[in-house]
Structures are given as structure tokens and as C-alpha cells.
A and B are shown apart, each in its own frame.
Chain A
Amino acid sequence: AQSVTQLDSQVPVFEEAPVELRCNYSSSVSVYLFWYVQYPNQGLQLLLKYLSGSTLVKGINGFEAEFNKSQTSFHLRKPSVHISDTAEYFCAVSDSSSGGSNYKLTFGKGTLLTVNP
């Protein structure tokens, strides 16, 4: 079984400040890792994913995340946030040994990022 812990339920920051949203996971098997964003009243949009290779992954809207296997973490970062980044951010993990029909995501509880002017 897998689990995801997002340590901060809410992160308020000022516009143009850097931000880090923390994610730790637990799994007995190797994993793929994802960050999804949910803007108010919208669905889940994929920000970025780690499958293999370079541990630093770049995504859309200037976000990046770093996979740290020893610390079982996949923290999301952005060097300078905009008001439009205000949203809920979800970290998710899947078992990398499965595929297709058994390919399911386990989500964290989410972190609400609020960017203030």
C-alpha cells in the first residue's frame, strides 16, 4: 500500500516570493510521482510528473519538483509566484510496476496555496 503526506494544509505567500510545497510518500515498491493543481471550481490539471531519470522535473507554469529517494520526498517549488497560482495542489503517487488498468493514483490531502498581493 502507498500513502502520501502533504505536510502543510495551507501556505500563504506574497506575490513574487518563492514557495515550496512539501510532499512525502511511503511505498514498498518503486513509484511514479505527480503534482496536480486544482484551480477554484475546476478539475485536476497535471503540473508535472517524475517517472525516471533526472530527479529534477520541470512542469508547467514555472513549477519544478525534485525527487529525493532517500528522503522519500517530492517537493514542489516555484521561484516567484503570481496571484494566479492561488489554487489547491495535490501530490500523488502510483506503483511504477503496474500499468494500464491497475494504474491508479494515491493522493495527498492537498495544500492550499494562497498568493497575496
Chain B
Amino acid sequence: EPEVTQTPSHQVTQMGQEVILRCVPISNHLYFYWYRQILGQKVEFLVSFYNNEISEKSEIFDDQFSVERPDGSNFTLKIRSTKLEDSAMYFCASYSPYTIYFGEGSWLTVV
């Protein structure tokens, strides 16, 4: 069964450093998302992406965050200058009609 794959599975970074989280969505999907789950809290929508542009973003997705699809297969989330409160599990997802499929997540720890 096709799946969404994410790398790295776990990353530890120092506060202020840039982080790039990578995702390979399911190959024939056209809509992509990033969600975040802070430890012990609910899964939150960050951003949706279609046709090489952001279609919607949440309040969380401020200027420190960016997304891109650099080569037609990867979908990346960049955090420019990480803060302690960015520590969370980040899920990539892609959409097939009426269902969103999630990757296994990238666990980001900012120290």
C-alpha cells in the first residue's frame, strides 16, 4: 500500500537553528499538508499546499515557517529559526478524495 514517508524520524536542534523536515507524499496525490502535535496536545493544522503554492495556513504558520516542493516528489517544511516551543511531532499528509493520509511523523526537539 502506498504511504507517505518522512525524514528524519527524530531531530534534535539548538534554538535559533534552521530545520528542514522532508516528506515524500503518495505519488499521484496533488494536495499536501503539514500538521503538528505538541506533546500531550491535539494534532493541529499548519498549512495546505496545492499547485506549488500555499492554499491555506493557520495562525501557527508564521514567517518562521515555509514550505516548498523542490523537485516534484519531495515536500519540505522549513523552520528558519527554531524556538523551544517548536518542539513537536510534525506530520506530513497527502490527500486522495475524502481521505488524508499521514506519514509517521518527524519528532523535532529544540534545546
**Whole-angstrom distance between the alpha carbons of A63 and B97 in the complex?**
22
Chain A residues with CB below 8 A from B30, complex form: 100
**Whole-angstrom distance between the alpha carbons of A53 and B56 in the complex?**
29
**Whole-angstrom distance between the alpha carbons of A34 and B100 in the complex?**
10
Q: Indicate with 1 or 0, residue by residue over A41-81, a CB within 8 angstroms of chain B CB atoms.
A: 01111100101000000000000000000000000000000
The main secondary structure of chain B at its interface with chain A is strand
The main secondary structure of chain A at its interface with chain B is mixed
Give the residue of B42, B44, B100, B105 whose beta carbon is less than 8 angstroms from that of A103: B100
Query: Are A104 and B45 touching (Cβ within 8 A)?
Result: yes
Query: Are B55 and A44 touching (Cβ within 8 A)?
Result: no
Instruction: Tell me how far the C-beta of B34 lies from the nearest C-beta in chain A, rounded to whole angstroms.
Output: 11
Query: Are A102 and B98 touching (Cβ within 8 A)?
Result: no
Give the residue of B48, B56, B98, B103 whose beta carbon is less than 8 angstroms from that of A43: B103
Q: Is B91 an interface residue (CB 8 A)?
A: yes
Query: Are A104 and B50 touching (Cβ within 8 A)?
Result: no
Q: Is B65 an interface residue (CB 8 A)?
A: no
Query: Are A43 and B102 touching (Cβ within 8 A)?
Result: yes
Interface residues of B (CB under 8 A from A): 6, 30-31, 33, 35, 41-45, 48-51, 55-56, 91, 95, 97-105
- CB-based closest 8 A-B pairs: A101-B50, A101-B55, A43-B104, A44-B102, A107-B43, A109-B42, A104-B45, A107-B42
